[in-house]
Amino acid sequence: MNYLDGLNDAQREAVLATEGPVCVLAGAGAGKTKVLTTRIYHLIREGAAPHEILAVTFTNKAAREMRERVSKMLDLRDADGSGLRKSPRISSADGLGQTVFSPAPVDVPFIATFHGLGRELLESYGSLIGVPRYFSVYDRDDSEKLVAAALKELDVEAKELSSRAVLYRISKAKGEGLSASEFYERSARSSFGNRITAEAWRRYDAALAKEKALDFDDLIAKPVRLLEEHPEARRAAKARWRYLHIDEYQDTNELQERLASILAEDHGNIFVVGDGDQAIYGWRGAKMEHILEFEERYPAAKVVKLEVNYRSTKTLVEASNKIIEMNVRRKDRRSKTENEPGEPIILHAAGTAEAEARYIARQARALIRGGSAPEEVAVLYRTNAQSRALEEGFLREGVPYKLLGTRFFERREVKDALAWMRLALDPSREADKVRAAGSPPRGLGKVTLAKLAAGQRDTLRAADLAKVEQFERVIDELARAAETLPPSEFAKLVIEKSGMKRALFEEGDEAARERYENVVELAVVAARHDGVPGKAGIASFLAEAALASDQDELDQGKRAGVALMTVHAAKGLEFDAVFVAGMEEGLFPHAPMGTDRDRDDEEERRLFYVAVTRAKKRLALTFARVRMLYGESYLTEPSTFLRDIDPALVVYDESDGEAVIEA
């Protein structure tokens, strides 16, 4: 039982609670991932079949870390050590009276994001509700374009109602379990925005169906509908997993909770881990009530509190306690630590946002020169608009950085290559065909492609027909290769056969070289799925690409640098040194403008708590006395959150950041 020796009493109690509902309240830095992975290992040691174990989290990065830890404990690593060996897929009737695809009964736990679980259920049983075997997953950018097209059909201009605002309403409604028709019925006599959203939603869903695509929200909404409407699929899904684990339970929305409840309704073995104090996604439908009221939903539940913080210094733990205890809606839990007191928190007031950025960049440079790794330094901010001044400050001071927000999988050349890969799985997708035909350009315009889609091939000129046939030959060749090649080899073949490699080399400049490096990086990411060669593995990779989050950017690219990101994107991460910029009233806590949402002061304070608890050793809080907003300069007031911190834990730095910090 030596695998239990490294656990504290509360962690051990959680790991050994193997039957029935269990709720683990895990404070920041309390080792929740260690508890989850050790419990999975303990279940297997106690006789549970690995393939009966399901663990669900919210980001690809968290799922990969959990898989790698479990695979190391079980000694089930791939040859490259990248994680659990992939389960080969088999075709069988599986008791549903039709052919479905489901994992072969190999002994590995299923560890994935909620969206990965939804995809697995739809690939296995989705044909019951008309979901095609190899469906695409549209990212937010692709979805927004479809919504924009729907609004154009409705003669709605962007200044009246933006496609982003409409997509937000659709996404929130899907998260609440509403269908387009249900939303329409509710909104028929509602506001202008909701009436337009209802009309646009119908067109949006029709466009997705035409492209054999789903969006992020469909990956949860459709599996729930599938399991609620088809008892045979419900029985099969519940029989697959006997032990259910859910990470970051406070972030679940209505549909995710329904999905979890369905899977656990027979055996009741639902093990949830989370922290209501880190519930920061209420604006997108997450319900912290799920963790606050877990004992009411499951009266027999066992509750375990993980209160020892192994991450941060005593100063930072004490400051975070003071901050979060100002909230009323929370479980009674107080973090403690045996770590050293460490350094005091630095507070710096800059004259302007530009001066604030220079200060942070200079302090970061001093840390790096003192021996800190650039990747162990992070700058967090409340809104993306703050990144401009910070980027300029880092560029001016010559400090390497990585800006999270321009995602690897959203770069134009990467999306071009992904379109080619999707076409190889299903050549009928018109949107992918249009994109691939232009990357690289081959003389096929939208008119020509529209004629093909309309079945008017015989109206094409001979020259255009020759180009079409050449294009189709490439697609056919890639489709044949997709049957057997591992995803990484297929990605390399796509880059070669599509002509992208040749075209980028012919451009020859530095920008083209960087774009080429980006598409080559696809093969590196795709290699994670090489354990399942052929179309199933390629489809799995494409789904990962569509569902990538900001945090996945930390794993992409070769250049080391200080991480610049929003506080929301930093959740779940940790750094030796953290700067939180823009600690001003109206900015943090944020007063949203131009939205139909009121400020939730408790959620804003939870967000500040998340920011503070990302730091292991050093924390600096900065604000500008004057900030430019909406084209005008405004005098600011320091954030009310600063008053929540004991002044004895803070030192004021009035320098410009030039002084060298000792590492």
Positions annotated as catalytic residues are: 32-33, 247-248, 278, 614
Distance between CA atoms of residues 583 and 589, nearest Å: 8
Distance between CA atoms of residues 98 and 450, nearest Å: 36
Residues facing residue 77 across a β-bridge: 84
DSSP string, 595-611: SS----HHHHHHHHHHH
What count of other Cβ atoms lies within 10 Å of the Cβ of residue 157? 9
In contact, 295 and 23? CB cutoff 8 Å: yes
Tokens representing 363 are 């302090």
Question: In terms of Cα–Cα distance, which of 217, 119, 113, 220 is closest to 168?
Answer: 217
- Strand 345-352 and strand 650-652: pairing? parallel
DSSP string, 399-417: --EEETTS-GGGSHHHHHH
Contacts 24+ apart (CB under 8 A), 35-38: 35/7, 35/11, 35/273, 35/306, 36/66, 36/245, 36/247, 36/273, 37/66, 37/69, 37/70, 37/73, 38/3, 38/4, 38/7, 38/11, 38/73
In contact, 405 and 384? CB cutoff 8 Å: yes
Distance between CA atoms of residues 354 and 498, nearest Å: 45
For residue 105, CA distances in Å to 102, 108, 109, 110, 369 come to: 9, 9, 10, 11, 52
What count of other Cβ atoms lies within 10 Å of the Cβ of residue 431? 18
- Strand 22-26 and strand 650-652: pairing? unpaired
Q: Verify cis geometry, omega within 30 degrees of 0, for the bond prior to 400.
A: no
Distance between CA atoms of residues 260 and 12, nearest Å: 24
Question: In terms of Cα–Cα distance, which of 622, 595, 627 is closest to 611?
Answer: 622
Distance between CA atoms of residues 417 and 476, nearest Å: 16
Distance between CA atoms of residues 99 and 95, nearest Å: 9
For residue 558, CA distances in Å to 59, 217, 401, 520 come to: 21, 32, 12, 12
